[in-house]
Amino acid sequence: MKNERIRPLTEDELLNACRSKADAGSTFVDTNLADERRKVTEYYLGQRPYQAREGGSKFVSQDVYLSVETMKAEIVETFGAGSNIVTFSPQNDDDVPLAKQSTAYCEYVVHRQNRGLEVFQDVVHDGLTNRVGLAKVYWDRREIIEEYSFENITQEQAIRLLMNPQFRLKGKPTITQSEDGTVLLSGEVEEITDASQVVIEPIPPEEFIKTGRSRYLDKADYLAHRYRCTLGDLVDDGYDADLVYSITGSDDDLAMDAEKLQREEETTSGFLNDEDNVDEAGRMVTVYESYIRIDFEGTGRRQLWKVVHVGEVLLEKQKVNDHPFVAYVPQPIPHTFYGNNFAARTIQHANTKTVLARAVIEQAVDATNPRWMVARGGVANPRELIDNRRGGVVNVRSLTDSVAPLPSTNINPFVPQVIQMVDSDREDTTGISRLSQGLDKKALSHQNSQGLVQQLTENSQGRTKIIARNFALQFVSQLYLKVYQLAIENETEEKIVEIAGSFVRATPSQWRSRRDVAVDMTLGYGARDQAVEELLVADKALSEKQARWYGDKQSYNVWKRAMEIKGWKNIQEIITDPDTLPPPEPNPLQKAELDEKLKNIDVAERQMALRERQVEREDSRKDAELAIRRIDTLQGIKLKSAEQARKDRETDNRIDIGLAELDLAIEAQVNASPENTRLTAIASPNS
């Protein structure tokens, strides 16, 4: 039986749920994080600590600024374009070329279409100063429209023109008729070019809202990006114009946001009114792009919905598979989303050094231009002493006791040591040492070898490497996965990407879904140089001793990998794949010697063939003679056999004749008359 409490929600209920969670998230941010972020920004900009007293020193220690900029420089330089930090792992042998194509495509999207270096700078800066840095990755559907006019073309020409899907007729064409009666058309067309692409946009911290206690964005109940834009921008994004212009003028929550105003106060004078009341399309409003997990359809399962609204006006709702946000937390705290604030940890050092430095400066100023003790009536005109003009004259009553400098305390001799102690503590807190910045003269002494200096530098950068690896795993890898997924879902055109200096055609819509990437952990000062050196040493050793299973192809792969680690482009222009090379031409002397040997071998083979033919002919002759003798012998035997057979037949014939004659004689004797009885035999002619 279905639970009656499970039911579909109305659009108003969905909108109210988003607004309620947005208000709760904004309250949490304003209460717990906004003050801290504003304070850090003031220290980063050198606005605090404030001046202690009127006329005192205004010196401000830049510990917060230096710590943030040093850490940011080390991280961003590591992940600059061409560093090949992230690669897609092939899932089988057939997937290797597609994995390379997808890696090159995402590299192109991040660093060419979206200025990846600037995105990384903004996200790292926000992460170091605001606990978390955020970026939004989405598919931006955009068109480039250019207008053209046509005059006096035939209907067939107009039809061929408009059959092109990139051209669209603007307005109604003018119809005229030529002298021969042909119908001619004139008018204007728009050429529409699809310029849609993946957009990576850093999000200011005050524009992001998250509710719930989940540590990861993928499991959050509610995420939102609130931003300011004009009503005309909303219409350009495809929202209904009547619905957009029904938005009231009070729906602009970010217009007076304190963090936004603080960030822009150095570049704007006073309150900047960016609204144009004359142009309604230019009126600014605050848009909430919410991603809420809710059972809107009444199925009993919560699903992720994208809801775009301005105040009480719902512009869009649709069910989505994923949110567009990628987060970077430099110093995470277990089981929480927001980590430590890197910059806030250095505020105490900035305060301490500022107080000490101001004391030293004011002491030096007082020593250079001290205050004076003047005996009553000791100076005829006190203004002459107050003006302190160079070369000026001061009339005094007495040269010995009328005027004397006011005694002041000497500077504490331990102040320099305290400042050094504060610097050392800041290094321990941030993990940024003077050695890693090349400022430690003791470590950089000529007595220390380059290897020792590099080892000391790497040892001093342990915490920096962890922060950089967090950026690689938390932000860059997830950024590439989202870019890849958006390309599969939306990129319909064929792209040409560069892989190892060769240009390959890629069709993102035919790629398979991926959930894993490989992250190169060769990070930090000198780590890449060390990796390249190890590869080249291995290549040299293997080339000398393992020629059987280490050839030109393996050596080429090693050098190619070394160049990729260094971030070189167009490797094919520097070294050539051995598989594409023609066979090497031999040395002329060696070729002549080889030709001579081949010629001698050819002569020897011919002589051998001649001797073999002679032997074959001799063998054939002997075989023929033997055959003849055998034939003669057989013929002789046959003749003898025939003669003997003839004789045997003659003998048998005589016997037969004799027997026949005997029978005749007997018969004749029996039948003969008495007078003839004296004849007793017949003389045979053969007897």
Task: Tell the residue number behind the tokens 């003269």, with chain if given.
Answer: 441
Task: Tell the residue number behind the tokens 């074959």, with chain if given.
Answer: 616
Q: pLDDT at position 479, please?
A: 94
* pLDDT band, residue 500 (cuts 50/70/90): low
pLDDT reading at 148 higher than 70? yes
CA distance 319 to 306: 6
Interacting residues of 305 by C-beta distance below 8 A, sequence separation 6+: 14, 291, 292, 293, 294, 296, 317, 318, 319, 320
List the beta strands (DSSP E) in 510-610: 517-519
CA distance 504 to 102: 11
| Mean pLDDT of the chain, nearest integer | 82
Residues, the chain:
687
Torsion of CA 474, 477, 480, 482, to 10 degrees: -50
DSSP 47: -
pLDDT in tens, 570-628: 777 788 878 777 777 767 777 777 778 888 888 888 888 888 888 888 888 888 888 78
CA distance 576 to 306: 50
- Taking residues 645-670, report their average pLDDT: 80
CA distance 545 to 542: 5
Helix (H) or strand (E) holding 309: strand 303-310
Which of the pair, 247 or 579, is modelled with greater confidence?
Answer: 247
Lookup: tokens for 86: 């992230």
pLDDT in tens, 517-556: 777 655 554 667 778 888 888 888 888 776 677 888 888 8
CA distance 289 to 18: 10
pLDDT in tens, 363-404: 888 888 888 888 888 888 888 888 878 888 888 888 888 888
Task: Tell the residue number behind the tokens 């277990």, with chain if given.
Answer: 334
pLDDT in tens, 664-684: 878 777 776 665 555 444 444
pTM of the model: 0.74
Closest CA to 21 of 226, 250, 275, 317: 226
DSSP 51: P
CB burial of 511-544 (b: ≥16 within 10 Å; e: otherwise) equals: beebeebeebeebbbbbbebbbeebeeebeebee
CA distance 244 to 637: 127
Write the burial class of residue 38 (CB in 10 Å: 0-12 exposed, 13-18 middle, 19+ buried): middle
Interacting residues of 334 by C-beta distance below 8 A, sequence separation 6+: none
Closest CA to 342 of 107, 126, 636, 654: 126
* pLDDT band, residue 440 (cuts 50/70/90): very low
Q: pLDDT at position 1, please?
A: 47
Where are the chain's structural domains?
10-47+221-321, 143-194, 343-381+396-460, 529-573, 585-631
